[in-house]
Amino acid sequence: MLLNLAYGAVGAVRKAVLAAALLLALPAWAEPVNLAALGDSLTQGYGLPPEEGFAPQLEAWLRDNGHDVSITNAGVSGDTTAGGLSRVGWTLTPEIRGMIVALGGNDMLRGIDPANSRENLRGILVAAREAGVEVLLVGIQAPGNYGPDYKAAFDNMYPELAEEFGTLHADNFFAGLAVEGDPSAAATYLQPDGLHPNAAGVSKIVAALGPKVALLLDRIDRD
């Protein structure tokens, strides 16, 4: 009887040691990778229930596609690139490993000089580089009503900054809403204000942008 108890105790110890060894053998990135989505009302989820906004839908899409990720919603309605620059420091908390930057729409709506917007975005990218945080820079396309020079300067600042800093780049936040041969079809996916996507629109935006965010995750050093 005592011998059986001794063997039982040894077996229990062996199992405990084995379990501890397995836990130590797990990769260091077993916990979710934390991303921040720095943006304006498009990122914040204006006019939508929290669970239907951009950050929650993107997080769900990534998880459905095999990525263990947590996304902090750092979108502020009405924010400009200057506003994003002013708060990027407290957005880049120690646990943040990557950042989606989607700013500039409100600069364009206010007719702000693209040179100023460019410098603000550059400041955000500098802060991310100093923090060792990988970035996906998401552009937005200016309409033609400000003239061709404004449109060119605004549209080009995103790919040029992405090249300068070696960041990932997505051409247009609204790319997922484009319907070939029917420009008016995008209205189906917008709220009544004609500016912000509805829940179905966010879903299409996320489906188009998700693979770029997956590439961002692949860039992150998980050691």
Question: Does the pLDDT at position 27 exceed 70?
Answer: no
Q: What distances in angstroms separate CA 91 from CA 3, 71, 97, one per listed residue? A: 60, 12, 11
- Mean predicted confidence (pLDDT) in 95-104: 98
- Mean predicted confidence (pLDDT) in 164-170: 98
pTM for the model: 0.85
> What is the signed CA dihedral for 17, 20, 24, 28, rounded to 10 degrees?
170
Q: What is the pLDDT of residue 178?
A: 81
- Mean predicted confidence (pLDDT) in 9-17: 48
- Which of 40, 41, 117, 203 is catalytic? The answer is 41
Question: Does the pLDDT at position 19 exceed 70?
Answer: no
Residue percentage of the chain with pLDDT more than 70: 83
pLDDT tens across 127-140, in order? 999 999 999 999 99
Q: What is the pLDDT of residue 50?
A: 92
pLDDT band, very low/low/confident/very high, at 187 (cuts 50, 70, 90): confident
- Which of 64, 149, 182, 193 is catalytic? The answer is 193
- Which of 79, 107, 155, 196 is catalytic? The answer is 196
Q: Is position 67 annotated as part of the catalytic site? A: no
Q: What is the pLDDT of residue 20?
A: 45
Q: Are 207 and 174 in contact (CB under 8 A)?
A: no
Measured distance CA(97)–CA(101) in Å, rounded? 13
Q: Is position 193 annotated as part of the catalytic site? A: yes
Measured distance CA(135)–CA(118) in Å, rounded? 16
Helix, strand, coil shares of the chain as percentages rounded to 5? 55, 15, 30
Measured distance CA(103)–CA(82) in Å, rounded? 9
Measured distance CA(150)–CA(111) in Å, rounded? 9
Q: What is the pLDDT of residue 10?
A: 43
Q: What is the pLDDT of residue 179?
A: 64
Task: Find all residues with CB under 8 Å of 205, minimum gap 6, and list them.
Answer: 54, 173, 174, 175, 176, 177, 197
**Fold for the domain defined by 33-219:** Rossmann fold (3.40.50)
As given in the structure block, the two tokens for residue 219 are: 């860039």
Q: What is the pLDDT of residue 180?
A: 54
Beta partners for 101? 38, 137
Q: Is position 79 annotated as part of the catalytic site? A: no
pLDDT tens across 114-124, in order? 999 999 999 99
Q: Are 203 and 161 in contact (CB under 8 A)?
A: no
